[in-house]
Amino acid sequence: MSSSFDSIWEDIYSKGNHLNLYPFDAVVSFLFNKQLRNIPRSQQNVIEVGCGAGNNLWFAAREGFNVSGIDASTSAINFAKHRFKQEKLLGNFDVGNFIELPYESCFFNFAIDRCAITHTDRSSIYKAVDEIYRVLKNEGLFLFCAFADSHSSASNGIYNKKSETIENIMAGTLTDVGQVSFLTFSDISDLFQSPKWEIIQLNLVESTDLKQPANNIQAEWRVIIKKVQI
């Protein structure tokens, strides 16, 4: 298992699981609220790291944005390509790693990570964020979603000291998804320090399922950050 890509995700996607069809609400809100009003959407470039089945980019492409997606799972990328072809949508999809993005510097207006980087080890998270900084245009915006340390699954697995991840999660909503880095408020602050980044919005979104015996908590950071030219 690579610390920057957990091979369990290829297994998950190849079996037809987690092949989401529709976008997540955080992504919809981000693009609609932060789109550039004075530039056609076809000239606004969007990259999603860990795009999976391409559901978020499917929405963005239908809305006229110029989209690219990268995921280490060949099965997920093939699914996304096939769906785009069937629906006659334009999009660029690559099989690759978050920590070495195959894109030119200062190209994208928007970057999206909807709880993908959070499935890597701590070192790879920093490398992935540095790569996103590189490929974003100056004043480009990054939607970063990651699981928070208050998530119930954070205390229901085995801690790997080397990778600083929780593995073998046995309870909560993140069972059977391999390694997860659960981030604290301090982690978010360290990842997005000035002068390179400016945090525009920082939300901790928590929900509790009171019908579960342990009152399972789903906890997720939703952060919008702007690249600052230095």
- Residue 36 Cα distances to 65, 160, 200, 227, angstroms: 11, 42, 16, 15
Domains of the chain (ranges; CATH) run 8-149+182-210+221-227 (3.40.50.150)
Report pTM. Answer: 0.96
**Which tens digits make up the pLDDT trace of 30-77?**
999 999 999 999 999 999 999 999 999 999 999 999 999 999 999 999
**What's the pLDDT at 1?**
40
**What's the pLDDT at 59?**
98
**What's the pLDDT at 214?**
72
**What's the pLDDT at 3?**
58
**What's the pLDDT at 152?**
95
**What's the pLDDT at 221?**
98
Compute CA 70 distance to the chain's CA centroid, rounded to the nearest angstrom: 10
Phi/psi of residue 54, nearest 5 degrees:
85, 20
**Which tens digits make up the pLDDT trace of 97-152?**
999 999 999 999 999 999 999 999 999 999 999 999 999 999 999 999 999 999 99
Q: Which of 185, 113, 186 is nearest to 146 (CA)?
A: 113
- Which of 102-111, 169-178, 190-199 comes out lowest in average pLDDT? 169-178
**Which tens digits make up the pLDDT trace of 211-223?**
887 779 999 999 9
- Residue that is written with structure tokens 């499935």 in the block: 119
**What's the pLDDT at 72?**
95
**What's the pLDDT at 6?**
80
Which of 5-9, 66-70, 98-102, 206-210 tops mean pLDDT?
66-70
Phi/psi of residue 115, nearest 5 degrees:
60, 45
Phi/psi of residue 5, nearest 5 degrees:
-150, 120
Q: Which amino acid is at 213?
A: P
Given a cut of 80, whether residue 7 has pLDDT beyond it is: yes
Across 187-210, average pLDDT: 97
